Structure 1
Amino acid sequence: MVAYDELGSLVPIKRTLQVIDYQNQANKESEEPSNKRVRPLGRVTSLANLISPVKNGAVRRFGQTIQASFRGDGKSPGVPQKPCSKAAAPTPPKRRNSTLWSETLDVHQKGTFSTKEIKRQEAIFELSRGEQDLIEDLQLARKAYHDPMLKLSIMSEEELTHIFGNLDAYIPLHEDLLAQLSKATGPDGTVGQIGQIVVNWLPRLNAYKDYCSNQLAAKALLDQKKQDRRVQDFLQRCLESPFSRKLDLWSFLDIPRSRLVKYPLLLKEILKHTPLEHPDAAGLEEAITIIQGVLSDINMKKGESECQYYIDKLEYLDDRQRDPRIEQCKSLLCHGELRNKSGTKLHVFLFTELLVLTRPVTRNERHCFQVYRQPIPVQDLVLEDLQDGDVRMGGSFRGAFSNADKAKNIFRVRSQDPSQAQSHTLQVNDVFHKQQWLNCLRSAISVHRPLSEPSTPTPPGSDARSKRRPSSVSAIVHMEETDENCPHTSSSPTTTSPSSSSSSTTSISSSTSPSPTSHKTKKDKKSLYSLGKRKETMV
Structure 2
Amino acid sequence: MESMQAQENSLSSDMSLRSLKLRGQMRTNVVKEIMSTERIYLKHLKDICEGYVRQCRKHAAMFSPHQLVTIFSNIEDIYRFHRKFLKELEKKFNPMQPHLSEIGSCFLLQGEGFSIYSEYCNNHPRASAELHRLMSLSRYRHFFEACRLLQQMIDIPLGGFLLTPIQKICKYPLQLGELLKYTSEEHRDYDSVNDALKAMKKVACLINERKRRLESIDAIAQWQAAILHWEGDDILGRSSELIHSGEMTRMFLHGKNQQRTFFLFDHQLIFCKKDLLRRDLLHYRGRLDLDHMDLLDLANGQNAAHSTFLKHAFELRNKITGESHVLCCRKPEDKQKWLEALARERHRVQEAEEMGIEISESQRKSAIVNANARKSKRGNMNNVGFASCALVPPHQPLHPLHQCHVPVPTRLPQQRVISLAEPMHKPFHLWDSITKHRHLRK
**Normalising to structure 1: TM-score of the pair?**
0.41
Larger RCO: 1 or 2 (CA < 8 Å, sep 6+):
2
The structure having more radius of gyration, on CA atoms, is: 1
TM-score, structure 2 normalization: 0.49
Identify the structure with the greater helix proportion. Answer: 2
